[in-house]
Amino acid sequence: MKLWGGRFAKETNTLTDHFNSSISFDARLYKQDILGSIAHVSMLAKQNIIPVSDSKSIEKGLLDLLSDIEKGTVTFNEKMEDIHMNIEALLTQRIGDVAKKMHTGRSRNDQVALDVRMYVRDEIDELKDMLLNLMHTLVTLSEKHTSTIMPGYTHMQRAQPITFSHHLMAYFEMLKRDYMRLNFTYDMTNSMPLGSGALATTTYPLDRDFVAECLHFDNVCENSLDAVSDRDFCLDLLYTLSTLIMHLSRFSEEIILWSSHEFRFVELDDAYSTGSSIMPQKKNPDIAELVRGKTGRVYGNLMSLLTTMKGLPLAYNKDMQEDKERIFDSIDTIKMCLPIFNEMIKTMKIQDKNMYRAAAGGFTNATDAADYLVKKGLAFRDAHEVIGKLVLHCVTVDTSLEELPLDVYQSLHPLFDKDIYEAISLPICVNERKVKGGPSTQAVLAHLAKAKAFLSDAK
């Protein structure tokens, strides 16, 4: 008989049991459910709601059950619907009727809200560690390439020369914001809902602050209706993970391009590439492609839960059972992507000569040629027009600004002198951009110092 079966005259249909059950996926909440129950019964004893001896018996039974679950010797029952009722039923089998006192003063509504919040906190801690590992890798790789020149792009057209380090550190900044969003999500999650009951608390004299302290929550949820029906923290997590995987997807897109024969900026390690079943020459960037591809499922989970929540009246509704699979899948996906993405980046070979050759083509120093004239007194718009004509001439005769004779420069404007060639050399173009946040070696080294300080503080 169901633990709630007193109201019902007959058993539920097997189809109902299967459709209603969540144990197939919420079984992973077993640890949070047990730890939450231990804190709850400790509080019940402290408040003289149940005898201390009963609390101790329940706590020991729960710890023994936790140990057996982690050993893999416990089987959950679909007829018990969810992890909460499975734990209670299993405990009752082990220690008898005293286990039935465990649910005094609470509902599955506030119980599941507690379990999910505790689970999200635990997973955020793991995700932050994985993210920091990738950020460390980017800093380490960047330190090796503060003078490696490559083209920067706009509209996927070569635009201006930058350093590879500068490019990598752009992703560091994105991931740093993702890390900060995980911290924000943790803070939004870290309010304790237990004691809210089904929706209207209870007549028992619960000490919710005691339970919050036991379970390391910063505070308790202030409104019982909100506490059992709030899934904003789940949405915060799904949004944060969607943004994180969007950043990984953008990076993956560049890795895919850079590893192509057309670019040849990087070569992926054999351990993080795959081949073709028919074309023996192929070395495919499948890891990057899969990270890019998995972005869609993480986005889908966010949109799915947003849609689930949009029309729900207060307080708890069974629709909210759909939250767990969404967050579980997104967490699992990100935890699968981050470590292998990190290793792919860590082991790839940088083809710095190819990067330099690409920066030398495509007139990436054209802006610097215009700035040369500006520094000699010409208005920027006029300088822009002069250099545009020079580029058109170079395209027509198939040459570059570096190779253009001085008399051609001077035929378009008398301010040009032989120092133009130094002004448009790629190292000068890059390293004169000393502005804070720029690509020069000097600016990037300053950025790296701040990045390392951030990582040190984040430990």
Residue 284 is classified by DSSP as B
> What tens-digit pLDDT sequence spans the chain (459 residues)?
566 566 666 777 777 777 778 898 999 999 999 999 999 999 999 999 999 999 999 999 999 999 999 999 999 999 898 999 999 999 999 999 999 999 999 999 999 999 999 999 999 999 999 999 999 999 999 999 999 999 999 999 999 999 999 999 999 999 999 999 999 999 999 999 999 999 999 999 999 999 999 999 999 999 999 999 999 999 999 999 999 999 999 999 999 999 999 999 999 999 999 988 898 888 999 999 999 999 999 999 999 999 999 999 999 999 999 999 999 999 999 999 999 999 999 999 999 999 999 999 889 999 999 999 999 999 999 999 999 999 999 999 999 999 999 999 999 999 999 999 999 999 999 999 999 999 999 999 999 999 999 999 997
Q: What is the pLDDT of residue 18?
A: 75
Distance CA 30, CA 65 (A): 10
Tokens of 350: 């940088």
Beta-sheet strands, E only, within 375-455: none
CATH topology of domain 362-458: Ribonucleotide Reductase Protein R1; domain 1 (1.10.40)
Q: What is the pLDDT of residue 9?
A: 61
CB within 8 Å of 73: residues ≥ 6 apart? none
Task: Mark residue 105 as left, alpha or beta (left: phi above 0; alpha: psi -120 to 50; beta: remaining).
Answer: left
Instruction: Decide if 237 contacts 229 (C-beta within 8 A).
Output: no
Distance CA 29, CA 84 (A): 9
Element (H, E) at 5: none
Helical axes 108-143 vs 83-95, angle rounded to 10° = 110
Taking CA atoms, 127 is separated from 132, 134, 338, 437, in Å, by 9, 11, 9, 28
Q: What is the pLDDT of residue 6?
A: 64
CB within 8 Å of 343: residues ≥ 6 apart? 271, 272
CATH architecture under which domain 109-357 falls: Up-down Bundle (1.20)
Of 226, 193, 199, 205, which is closest to residue 46 (Cα–Cα)? 205
Assign domain 5-104 one CATH number from 1.10.275.10, 1.10.10.1100, 3.40.50.970, 3.40.50.880.
1.10.275.10
Q: Which residue has 């057309």 as its token pair?
A: 262
Instruction: Decide if 451 contacts 172 (C-beta within 8 A).
Output: yes
Of 163, 148, 320, which is closest to residue 228 (Cα–Cα)? 320
Strand partners, 267: 349
Q: What is the pLDDT of residue 8?
A: 65
Distance CA 211, CA 207 (A): 7
Element (H, E) at 405: none
SS3 letters across 112-127: HHHHHHHHHHHHHHHH
Q: For the chain, give every domain's residue range.
A: 5-104, 109-357, 362-458
Instruction: Decide if 36 contacts 116 (C-beta within 8 A).
Output: no
Of 34, 139, 54, which is closest to residue 101 (Cα–Cα)? 54
State how beta strands 219-220 and 149-154 pair: unpaired
Distance between first and last Cα of the chain? 50
- Same fold: 5-104 with 362-458: no
User: φ and ψ at 151, to 5 degrees?
Assistant: -80, 140
Instruction: Decide if 374 contacts 381 (C-beta within 8 A).
Output: no
What amino acid positions are annotated as catalytic residues? 155, 276
Distance CA 303, CA 322 (A): 12
Residue 262 is classified by DSSP as T
